[in-house]
Amino acid sequence: MKDDVLLTFNSGSSTLKIGVFEIVDREAKSSGRAKIDFDNFPLALVGEIAGERVATPLVSSDGQDVGEVVRQVFEYAADCLGGSIVAAAHRIVHGGLRFQGPALLDDRCIDEIEGLVPLAPLHQPAALRFIRAVRTVEPALVQTASFDTAFHSSQEDVVRRLAIPRALHDDGIRRYGFHGISYAYVARKLSEIDEEAGRGRTVVAHLGSGASLCGMMAGVSRDTSMGFSALDGVPMATRPGWIDPGVLLYLMRKGMRQPERIEDFLYHECGLLGVSGISGDTRVLVVDQRVEAQQAIDLFCLRVAGEIARQAVTLGGLEAVVFTAGVGENQPEIRARVASRLQWLGVELDASRNEARSHVVSTTSSRVKVFVIPTNEEQVIADEALSVLTRHRL
């Protein structure tokens, strides 16, 4: 008898990452991952499923019919594993004040997620597209949601509060934080790798094209760099991170008055791309010796190091730093530049370990342990989906 199959959907503005899991003894066992890039035509499902490399063309020529894309993904996954698909689980960036844990996607839940679109205009609509596409293809299929903001609901009010009138805070304008699904996985893995570090004061740096940091005590979120939106915090590939609101007032007075224009500017024209004028990709910028490229990298590393130090204040100390996500996991040069700015805090990187991408990349004498832990958002989404299915006895 074949095992039941669970699919996870992690949608970005132009990509869809898919996790394929078999449910064995009430646990989600990964059977592979795949990705669809909607900017790369003709569309294809690329990855590895059931131990086999996948590079399967999809029928949809323009990517607009996501229902057809979902149908083909379902068919391919079922054919590869031979089981029946029993649930689809989605990553949702923003859960607002309503969602502080995973949820069953019924009509009311979907409507509430749609109501949060203004808080995450770049990411929320993409997730809703795939939720509705799954409903169209398999109307009776159980769907669940995991929320990036939920992990940070443990933070104290003083950390989440902006210095604005109380009525606006009470209306939901506050610091939420993101990348929580990634942080949940890293917190779990850190405890497995080093139990003592898992119980201590740790700052996790989730560094990718979107980047944020999270200060944890015993694996529980106490502070984070992103705030009300995914624009805040450290500079990112094309997003500015922290920016003086006076800059936006100035630009509005100079003619940038439309909210849509400001939104496009903040999400797509700033960050490393804006500083360098070359690229938002750190892999390109690190090896580019032009002054503008190196300025962008220096600014990025300075802000990441500064954020680690700031969060140490919230935590009342620092015992570990963890690098994760695409940049954090794969670019030793970035880790080295960040660590060099934190030597005063007791961070010492071992150059050979750092180049070898070991789990522990600090020296044995470093007062602060430094780890590299690959993240796995899909596993958390699948595990949370199973918890929802169990809770609702589905």
Within the chain, how many helices (H) and strands (E) appear?
16, 13
CB count in 10 Å sphere of residue 316? 9
The residues, any chain, with a CB within 8 Å of residue 228's CB and separated by 6 or more, are 119, 162, 173, 174, 175, 176
Catalytic-labelled residue, pool 148, 232, 350, 383:
148
Q: Where do the H-state alpha helices sit in 218-324?
A: 245-253, 259-268, 271-276, 282-287, 291-315
CB atoms within 10 A of CB 269: 13
Annotated active-site residue 148? The verdict is yes
152 vs 155: CA distance, rounded Å: 6
Please tell me what DSSP assigns to residue 362: B
**What one-character DSSP code corresponds to residue 229?**
S
* Helix or strand run (H / E) with residue 190: helix 180-193
Q: Cα separation of 381 and 20, whole Å?
A: 11
Active site residues: 148
